[in-house]
Structure 1
Amino acid sequence: MVDQSASSDANDTASSLKRSRIAIYLQLATLFRNRIASGQWRVGCRTPNIDDLAEEFGVARGTIRQAFDKLEAEGLVERHRAKGSFVRRAPARARVHRLEMDWASCCTAHDDATIRTLSSEIVTRLPDSLSCDAPHLPRYHALRRLHIRDGEPYMVGTGFIGEEVFSRLPADRLDDKALSSLVQDFAGNDIGAAHQTLTVGTADVETAALLNIEVNSPVALMHRCVLSRQKRVMFASDGIYRGDAVRLEIALR
């Protein structure tokens, strides 16, 4: 007897693969990687054969082979002539970064991270995503930085620091401490309000390369605004976190 539910799910997945602008073999590689990570395809066990997978997803056998080429290059599967493909190991799990929901915790959240500055420039306006619904300052120092923990990048972001506040920051601390922490340490008495917004999105080509993830992988987008007592934007930042490396916890009661 045919499992109508399973058949419907397979048809839905096949349709989704064809609607996306991402190459089908890359989408399949992600799907197969998730099957390994979840234990559906167990380490040491043989994977379904190419013909069955091609039929399941309605694609050519060559497309399935391309997906397995990628998994083999990552060391997740190994293929043997006349025997098939076997799961070699599960994907490494990224260390989870907890997204903080209060200013004090935000200032210490990256204390154990290695921070690499990617670019630094002076700008005269903030991005539209960081308008903060408050008056801006004439100039900001924009620092784009990559945050790394245990050798794995987990967040890339850009911080915009008002020129007067930036002048107070010690240059030798800019590469080893979170910008929010520096702003608190050297201009904390000037802070009147702070808020942040979290949304979920997908990684573009540049972000995927920096965070060592696949294009279109889920990411968490954090926009943060800090206002002075005069209600002007003294610091703003946007951070893009790997979706598999963040956790949000909120006490409900």
Structure 2
Amino acid sequence: MEISGQEAETVRQGQSEARQPLYLAVYDSLRDEIQVGKWKVGASLPSEADLSDRFRVSRITTRHALRLLEADGYIRKAQSRRPVVMAAAPARREGWFMESMADIVEMVGDARLDIRSWRQERSAPDARDFGLPLATRLHCLRGILSRNGRPYARSIIYFPPQIGARLSRGAFDDAVVFRVLQRLLGIHIEDVQLTVWSELASEEDARDLRCEVGSALLATQLQYRDENASLIEIAYSRALASEAKLSTRLVTSARVP
């Protein structure tokens, strides 16, 4: 198969526009080719070296993209052999699959964010994470995420003063709040850290989520960092465990060829 410089340039343009890692751009390109039948089931993809040359990326980047394709059921890899196409449709994913910024957007989907408050609050643990004095008043957005008129999660988001001071309650017209920062402030998210734990519903949870006090909740914290590695948003969600399931993927270290 002939390799064109235009294909590599397309991947890099897509990566730049979407601000996504190169391995995801390579993954998207290969996935799309498999789905439209450019690579038939049973066919072998080019070698890692050839794909790296095609997309003008490192072999580590290509290897990461191929791992994702394999985990999604598109291909099968074997040591010292070219990847083989196994399916033209993705494997079924259970729950909220979270591996990239695009997955966060998909998870929120068509949800509505009903804002309850936008004010300054003290939260010592979050001030500490922002690298600020514990008594610092942080800008805090509190809201309810609902779908089809039914609330399913509480949302509590903290911003450091230098970010919050540039925002207003009316700015939050998107349930995917980090997109507000991108659109209004020109901030690009480069790193997201996810923490998950379980809790029991408080009286406030019960009121907002229409559940019983003591119901099981799935709680999450997302820490967003910009391209300078500065922490610019800490977002919490509290959802009923009976309606929430979170999936992710652990990628093992690369094998040495």
TM-score under structure 1 length normalisation: 0.52
1:204 paired residue number: 202
Alpha-carbon distance in structure 2 between the residues aligned to 1:196 and 1:245: 19
Give the Cα–Cα distance (whole angstroms) in 2 for the partners of residues 192 and 202 of structure 1.
32
Aligned 8 A contact 1:107 1:181 in 2: no
How many Å separate the matches in 1 of 2:130 and 2:229? 7
CA contact (8 A) 1:194 1:227 kept: yes
Q: Aligned to 2:98, which of 97, 100, 111?
A: 100
**CA distance 1:108–1:192, shift in 2 (3 Å):** same
Point out where structure 1 has 5 or more consecutive residues left out of the alignment. Answer: 1-95
> Does the Cα contact within 8 Å between 2:201 and 2:212 map onto a contact in 1?
yes
Cα contact 2:98–2:248 (8 A) shared by 1? no
Distance 1:174 1:232, change over 3 A: same
Identify the residue that residue 234 of structure 1 maps to in structure 2. Answer: 232
1:213 aligns with 2:191: no
- Structure 1 residues 156 and 141, CA, compared in 2 at 3 Å: closer, same or farther? same
Q: Does structure 1 retain, via aligned residues, the 8 Å contact 2:140–2:157?
A: yes
Decide whether the 8 Å contact of 1:108 with 1:181 is kept in 2: no
Instruction: Please tell me whether residue 246 in structure 1 is matched to residue 244 in structure 2.
Output: yes
Q: For the structure 1 residues 229 and 252, does the alpha-carbon distance in structure 2 shift closer, same or farther, using more than 3 Å as the test?
A: closer
- Corresponding residue for residue 140 of structure 1: 138
Task: Give the superposition deviation at 1:134.
Answer: 4.9
User: Structure 2 CA distance, aligned partners of 1:241 and 1:203?
Assistant: 9
Pairing partner for 1:153 from 144, 151, 154: 151
Work out the CA distance in 2 between the residues paired with 1:198 and 1:103: 17
Contact 1:194 1:226 in 2 (8 A): yes
Q: Distance in 2 between matches of 1:166 and 1:247?
A: 31
| Structure 1 residue 217, shift from structure 2 partner | 1.0
The structure with more radius of gyration: 1
Partners of 1:108 and 1:168 lie apart in 2 by: 27
Is the CA contact (8 Å cut-off) linking 1:117 and 1:143 kept in structure 2? yes
Give the distance between the partners of 2:164 and 2:243, measured in 1 at CA.
30
| Identity between Structure 1 and Structure 2 (%) | 20
Look up the SS of the partner of 1:207 in the other structure: helix
In the TM superposition, 1:34-53 aligns within 5 A as none
Q: Where in structure 2 are the equivalents of 1:64-213 lying within 5 Å?
A: 98=96, 100-123=98-121, 125-128=122-125, 130=126, 133-136=129-132, 140-166=138-164, 169=167, 172-187=170-185, 189-213=187-211
Distance 2:219 2:189 in 1: 23
1:135 maps to a residue whose letter is: G
Contact 1:221 1:240 in 2 (8 A): yes
1:147 CA drift (Å): 0.6
Cα distance in 2 for residues equivalent to 1:184 and 1:168: 13
Instruction: State whether residues 135 and 231 of structure 1, in contact with CA within 8 Å, keep that contact through their aligned partners in structure 2.
Output: no
| Aligned-residue offset at 1:208 | 1.3
Unaligned runs of 5+ in 2: 1-93, 252-257
Root-mean-square deviation over aligned CA pairs: 3.0
Q: Quickly say closer, same or farther: Cα 1:171–1:204, change in 2 above 3 A.
A: closer
Tell me which amino acid in the other structure corresponds to 1:152.
R
